[in-house]
Amino acid sequence: MIVPCIDLMDGKVVQLIQGREKALEGASPDEMIAKFAAFPEIQVIDLDAALGRGSNDGLVRHIASRAATRVGGGVRGMERAQALVAQGARKVIVGTSAFTGTGINEPLLTELRDTVGRERLVIALDSKAGRIVIRGWQEATDFTAEQVLHSLEPYCSGFLCTYVDKEGMMQGTDLDWFRRLRAATGLEITAAGGITTLEDVKALLAINVRAALGMAIYTGRLSLADLAALL
C-alpha cells in the first residue's frame, strides 16, 4: 500500500525538513484529499499537537470525515487517542509516549490497547543514527527499533517506521534498515523518511512494506498517477 501524507501546522498543510524547518505549504486539505482519492488511506499528522502548542482538531475531523485516515500527533494518553477516534480516525499513531527513558511504556500502551483497541493502534518508531528518537526527534533513546519490535507487537496492529536521517531531504532512504525491520516482525510496517524515487517505492512494496509519502509527492518528484498505477 502507498499512503500519502497530510501534515498540519497552524491550520495549513505543510512539509518539514527533519521535523523542524518548513519547506513548503501544500494546497488546501480538500484539494489534497481530492488528489489522494485513488489511495485507500491517508496519513494525517497534527504537528501542532505533537509539539504541544495547540491542535488542528477541526481540520483532522474534516479530513477524517472525507477519507480513511490514520492520525497521529500529541497522543500522550487515553483521552487524546479517544478524541482522534471520535473525530473519525480509523487508526491512531502513538509515538513519544510509547516509550520511557529506559524502554517501553507498558502501562500506557496497555491502557490504549484496552480502550481504543489493538487493531486501531500504530506505534511510531522514529530512528536517527540507529536509535529511536522521541520528543519531536530531539531526544535519543538507548535502544533500536529492531530491539523493541517484538515486545511492542501485543499492543498494536503495525508500525510506522521513519528513517529520520533523511526525512524531507529527498536523498533516498535506507532500504536495508527496512529489510531488517521486515524480518523482525510479522505485523504491518509502513516506511517513511527519504523515500524519493519510484524505485524506492517498488523496493519497499516488494518486501511487503508500505510507503508513506510526503515531500516527494508535494514537490512533484513522484507522480501520483505513477504511484496509483502501482496499487
* DSSP secondary structure string for all residues of 156-175: -SEEEEEEGGGTTS-S---H
Which of 15-29, 130-144, 189-203 ranks highest by mean pLDDT?
Answer: 189-203
Residue 10 bears catalytic tag: no
Average pLDDT, rounded, for the chain: 92
- Model confidence at 79: pLDDT above 80: yes
Average pLDDT over residues 135-157: 89
**Domains of the chain in sequence order:** 2-228 (3.20.20.70)
Catalytic residue among 7, 46, 48, 200: 7
Percent of the chain with pLDDT over 90: 77
Angle at which helices 106-116 and 78-86 pack, to 10 degrees?
A: 30
CA–CA gap between residue 132 and residue 98 (Å, rounded): 11
Q: What is the pTM of this model?
A: 0.94
Catalytic residue among 46, 48, 126, 200: 126
Four-point Cα dihedral 5, 93, 46, 96, nearest 10:
-120
Residue 7 bears catalytic tag: yes
Give me 94's grid cell: 502513538
CA–CA gap between residue 121 and residue 112 (Å, rounded): 8
pLDDT of residue 50: 87
- Model confidence at 55: pLDDT above 80: yes
Residue 169: which pLDDT band, with cuts at 50, 70 and 90? low
* C-alpha R_g of the chain: 16
What digits encode the pLDDT tens for the residues 96-111? 899 987 889 999 999 9
